[in-house]
Structure 1
Amino acid sequence: MTADERREYILKLLKTSQEPQSGRELAEKIGVSRQVIVGDMAILKARKEPILATSQGYIYMADQKEGSGIERTIACYHRPQDTQHELNILVDHGVFVKDVTVDHPIYGEFTAQLRISNRKEVKKFLNQLEESSASLLSELTEGIHLHTIVANHEEDLDEAEKALEEAGFLVDKKV
């Protein structure tokens, strides 16, 4: 298989998958290293393919209903060990956690796609975090971070914010 054929095959796998595909999973299916997949993804993104890298894996965005619903940015603060509680509050209120952003004093703004909508995805995210020994972005800013959250109804966002406030995780109302 040539490099171009491999990239076309990767696109086919992503377009037909209902779940995010990790670099490791793609590498195993195709019989190449994960680093080859990372390079292929960079080339595909440079070709303007709508591929999103998330903590769960790669997603082809053309068939997703990304951005549907009401979007809001909230400012949060908590210790790393409270991450599960914060994310569970959000998803338990029917909220989709689109991303996390921190404002680093030297490097500026960092945003990472989360795409978490249920407790199973919260658990998967935390397991990946633990297995990789990676740090949360919010650790760069002593726990202060922003989330873009999405819901079908304004009331769901309001209720989620109220629950975060009651838990002591909300820095301020709507940023």
Structure 2
Amino acid sequence: MAEEMKLTGAERRKQLLIWLKESRTPLTGSELAKKSAVSRQVIVQDISLLKAKNEPIIATSQGYMYLHSQASEKQPVTRIIACEHGPERAEEELNLIVDFGVTVKDVIIEHPVYGDLTASIRVNTRKEVSDFIKKISSTNAAYLSQLTNGIHLHTLEAATEEKIDQACEALKKANILIPE
């Protein structure tokens, strides 16, 4: 750890990239700060600098992730869907989606002043959904959809079109999916 404390900013950012690229799960700013022996605010600044250099890093509700190129792998299928429900049904909605092996990448609303607002969610298991809901609750944060009377979009991602179709059918039965 003593050696890591002597890293320059550039060396630390290089090490952050290595950790993010090696991890298949999100890494929190606090975890990265502890590993780097710096404050979480320094990590936030480092991540901003890396993003400014076009490093594909995203901030999710679970932490930072490096978006790996999938050129050699089969590209996942994505679809944007429209939903409507109150905040009390957010966990139900997300669980209905992830139960079919579908990832909820984000939530998008159309704000009357700011236009489209997008927030990364990146949940694909019931545990991640539960953690996300707990974080919203424990911070007393509002769901973005509360700004639009429950109307919002999600970008879904899955290995196959059929998985997304199944999730959409479950949302339709639950009266959450807005018909096209």
Question: Normalization by structure 2: what TM-score?
Answer: 0.89
State how many pairs are aligned.
173
Give the superposed CA RMSD.
1.8
**Distance change in 2, residues 1:166/1:109 (3 Å):** same
- Given the alignment, which residue of 125, 128, 135 partners 2:132? 125
Between Structure 1 and Structure 2, whose CA radius of gyration is higher?
Answer: 2
Corresponding letter in the other structure for 1:99:
D
**Is 1:8 aligned with 2:14?**
yes
CA positional deviation for 1:90: 0.4
Separation of aligned partners in 1, 2:112 and 2:136: 24
Tell me which residue corresponds to 1:61: 67
CA positional deviation for 1:67: 8.9
**Is 1:104 aligned with 2:111?**
yes
SS at match of 1:19: coil
- Given the alignment, which residue of 13, 36, 41 partners 2:42? 36
SS at match of 2:68: helix
Runs of 4+ in structure 1 over 4 Å off: 63-67
CA positional deviation for 1:156: 2.0
CA positional deviation for 1:159: 1.9
Corresponding letter in the other structure for 1:36:
V
Tell me which residue corresponds to 2:25: 19
Question: Normalization by structure 1: what TM-score?
Answer: 0.91
| Alignment check: 8 A CA contact 1:91 1:118 kept | yes
**Is 1:52 aligned with 2:58?**
yes
SS at match of 1:101: strand
Unaligned stretches of 5+ in structure 2? 1-6
